[in-house]
Amino acid sequence: MTTYVKISTTNINKDRLTEDLINAGLPLPSILYAGFDSGSRIYTRFTETREIASVTDGTGTTIFTAEPGELRLTYKPSLSTAQQTTLDSVIAAHDPLTLSLEQGREDKDVAVLTQVTNNLRKVNWDSLNNNTRQETIRRALQLLFRDNRFRDLDTDD
């Protein structure tokens, strides 16, 4: 197991970074966003070195710090030299404002949910034309199935 410490010069969109690593053909690492404040989508880069942990034992206290933008990526097995170069390239090219595919779908789902909700709240469903009713039902089912795709459907029933 090898941990690579990398410094990002930008904030991090963790879902997009994971997607970029996969698209570059790299195995998925365990990632500690040590030099970042976590957020819902964007992890904000520290502006200065910060204490991220401290451990006290019989010999005293050890303080662990992280530099701004510090990423600790742990791989098992270790990366080849070519893979390390690819990793550096992925981190350097990372654009935190570019959404991952899943984030793009989530944003579209929010917009669709609003439209479906508005159509279903109409006082008179019969006042909608046939195309609008079919589209509303199609989108509602699409949202339902998309919402359930990551749930564990294996039950003990």
> 21-69 pLDDT, tens per residue?
999 999 999 999 999 998 888 999 999 999 988 999 889 899 999 999 9
Cα–Cα distance for residue pair 89/92, rounded to 1 Å: 5
Q: Give pLDDT, residue 155.
A: 40
Residue 2 pLDDT:
94
Separation of alpha carbons 28 and 83, rounded Å: 12
Identify the residue whose tokens are 């910060």.
50
If DSSP states are collapsed to H, E and C, what string results for the chain?
A: CEEEEEECCCCEEHHHHHHHHHHCCCCCCEEECCCEECCCCEEEECCCCEEEEEEEECCEEEEEEECCCEEEEEECCCCCHHHHHHHHHHHHHCCCCCCCHHHHHHHHHHHHHHHHHHHHCCCCHHHCCHHHHHHHHHHHHHHHHHHHCCCCCCCCC
Q: Which residues pair with 57 in a beta bridge?
A: 60
Residue, of 59 and 135, whose pLDDT is higher: 59
Query: Which of residues 78 and 129 earns the better pLDDT score?
Result: 78
